[in-house]
Amino acid sequence: MKNLNEGAVAFRKKDFDKHKDLFGDLSSSQKPHTIFIGCSDSRLVPSLITSTIPGELFIIRSVANIIPPYKKGSSYPAISAAIEYAVLALGVENIIVCGHSNCGGCAALYKSEEELQHLPHTNLWLELSRPVKNKVTQMIPNATQAEREWMTEQMNIVQQISHLFTYPYILERYNNDTLKIFGWYYIIETGEIYNYDVDKGYFELING
Ligand SMILES: [Zn+2]
């Protein structure tokens, strides 16, 4: 914690000072252009990998970048509320769903009920991505560990995009071209980002 406090002091002295005008402009309103829905993993740093400054990204994080399908009256609709606010109140123009290599959440899809017994909420949350495990197992039944891993992580991004399309206001805006949707797969050790082209149906390297 000492490091974090020292970091807060350093921020105020250096970075805050550098962006003083920007923070002044942002003090009473925000107009982010993009919702970035990323895995909660500490190694995925949205502003760093997009070279963006405060005010640009509306960031939503969840375990394995899972997005619940649209459901009215859901008990604790944290992710859906954040999406709703950013699309309907702030009018963002893009949504990026960002998964990454070596994702613990995606790997946990293959763990048994017993193995996840001590993580009951994680287990419940991962239910939303169980179809991904089934698809990958069918597509590449004899996959190596590494093949299964990257295929699961990529298919999970595609699955979450399909969940986004269950939100009526997202589908409407996507169809009339006022909202764009991207699926990013970030490789931690190389910095490479592959984008899933929703229309073409495959991932392409965007920062080679
Ligand atoms: Zn992850």
- Tokens linked to 157: 């991004």
Sign of the dihedral through C-alpha 188, 93, 77, 165? negative
206 CA to centre of ligand 1 in angstroms:
20
What residues pair up with 95 in beta bridges, in sequence order?
A: 35, 181
Strand partners, 46: none
Which pLDDT tens digit goes with each residue over 43-69?
999 999 999 999 999 999 999 999 999
CA of 102 relative to ligand 1 center, distance in Å: 7
Task: Please tell me the distance between residue 195's alpha carbon and the centre of ligand 1 in angstroms.
Answer: 17
Digitized pLDDT (tens) for each residue of the chain, 208 residues in all? 889 999 999 999 999 999 999 999 999 999 999 999 999 999 999 999 999 999 999 999 999 999 999 998 878 899 999 999 999 999 999 999 999 999 999 999 999 999 999 999 999 999 999 999 999 999 999 999 999 999 999 999 999 999 999 999 999 999 999 999 999 999 999 999 999 998 899 999 999 9
The per-residue pLDDT for range 134-143, each reduced to its tens digit, is: 999 999 999 9
Residue 73 is predicted with a pLDDT of 81
pLDDT of residue 60: 98
pLDDT attached to residue 79: 97
Q: Please give the distance, rounded to the nearest whole angstrom, from the Cα atom of residue 129 to the centre of ligand 1.
A: 13
The confidence score (pLDDT) of residue 2 equals 82
Query: Quick count: other Cβ atoms within 10 Å of Cβ 32?
Result: 19
Q: How far is the CA of 132 from the centre of ligand 1 (A)?
A: 14
Ligand 1 centroid vs 174 CA: distance in angstroms? 26
The yes/no answer on whether domain 31-205 falls in CATH 3.40.1050.10 is: yes
Q: Quote the pTM value.
A: 0.96
For the beta carbon of residue 42, count every other beta carbon within 10 angstroms.
Answer: 6
Q: Is the torsion defined by CA of 52, 54, 58, 62 positive or negative?
A: positive
Residue 188: predicted pLDDT:
98
Q: Cα of 27 to ligand 1 centre, how many Å? A: 32
Q: Please tell me the distance between residue 159's alpha carbon and the centre of ligand 1 in angstroms.
A: 15
Check residue 75 and give its pLDDT. Answer: 82
CATH code 3.40.1050.10 region(s) in the chain = 31-205
CB neighbours (10 Å) of residue 70? 19
Q: Measured between alpha carbons, how far apart are the two ends of the chain, in Å?
A: 37
